[in-house]
């Protein structure tokens, strides 16, 4: 079972807003019960902003009430089957890899000239103006950009690259 995003912040919210046991909260947040007790006693996570799992779509109030009524029950994370109901999450690129992104964009432009900008944006977590500046060689660092495979740079997996370039011929 996958746990909630921001488990400690979720635990803070559950402690403050429910009468669930420490064991139930620990099970749901994938934390140790003593860690949940320490959060409740304000020994750790002091000043942490609570994360509401209901607003995040990870729990329902009915699920919380069900488990509050019977402490032997464990919370079950809400599984969304409708992909339209999920929030779009922009692709995160670690700071150390961000300097490599223009090289990967240049590689995609060179090898897949008909690849839509939207696919490049989603694959590498970049913006259309950045792609345009690299394509037109007006990027602030264009003289140092060397086309490099994004898989080699660690910006995406081969499977992701194949998915976003499917139907576009490699040059």
Is there a single domain that holds both residue 77 and residue 99?
Answer: no
Q: Which long-range CB contacts under 8 A does 61-68 form with residues at least 24 apart? A: 64/14, 64/18, 64/20, 67/20, 67/24, 68/18, 68/19, 68/20
**Per-residue pLDDT at 105:** 96
Is there a single domain that holds both residue 24 and residue 80?
Answer: yes
Domain count, the chain: 2
- pLDDT tens per residue, range 83-122: 444 555 567 777 888 899 999 999 999 999 999 999 999 9
8 A C-beta contact, residue 103 and residue 145: yes
User: 62 lies in a domain?
Assistant: yes
How crowded is the C-beta side of 142, counted as CA atoms within 13 Å?
11
**pLDDT less than 50: residues of the chain:** 81-85
**Per-residue pLDDT at 116:** 94
- Structure token digits, residue 123: 């694959």
**Per-residue pLDDT at 81:** 46
Is there a single domain that holds both residue 78 and residue 13?
Answer: yes
Is there a single domain that holds both residue 102 and residue 160?
Answer: yes
**Per-residue pLDDT at 83:** 47
Query: CA dist 11 to 32, 48, 60, Å?
Result: 11, 10, 15
> Which range marks the domain in which residue 36 is found?
7-84
**Per-residue pLDDT at 84:** 47
């Amino acid at each position: 079972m996958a746990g909630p995003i921001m488990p400690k912040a979720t635990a803070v919210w559950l402690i403050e807003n429910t009468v669930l046991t420490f064991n139930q909260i620990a099970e749901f947040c994938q934390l140790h019960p003593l860690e949940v007790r320490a959060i409740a006693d304000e020994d750790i996570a002091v000043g942490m902003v609570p994360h509401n799992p209901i607003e995040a779509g990870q729990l329902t109030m009915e699920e919380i009430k069900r488990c509050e009524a019977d402490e032997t029950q464990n919370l079950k994370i809400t599984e969304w089957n409708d992909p339209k109901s999920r929030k779009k999450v922009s692709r995160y690129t670690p700071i150390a890899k961000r300097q490599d992104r223009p090289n990967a964009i240049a590689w995609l432009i060179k090898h897949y000239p008909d690849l839509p900008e939207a696919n490049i944006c989603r694959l590498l977590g970049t913006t259309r103006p950045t792609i345009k500046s690299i394509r037109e060689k007006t990027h602030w660092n264009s003289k140092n950009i060397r086309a490099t495979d994004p898989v080699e740079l660690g910006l995406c997996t081969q499977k992701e690259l194949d998915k976003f370039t499917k139907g576009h011929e490699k040059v």
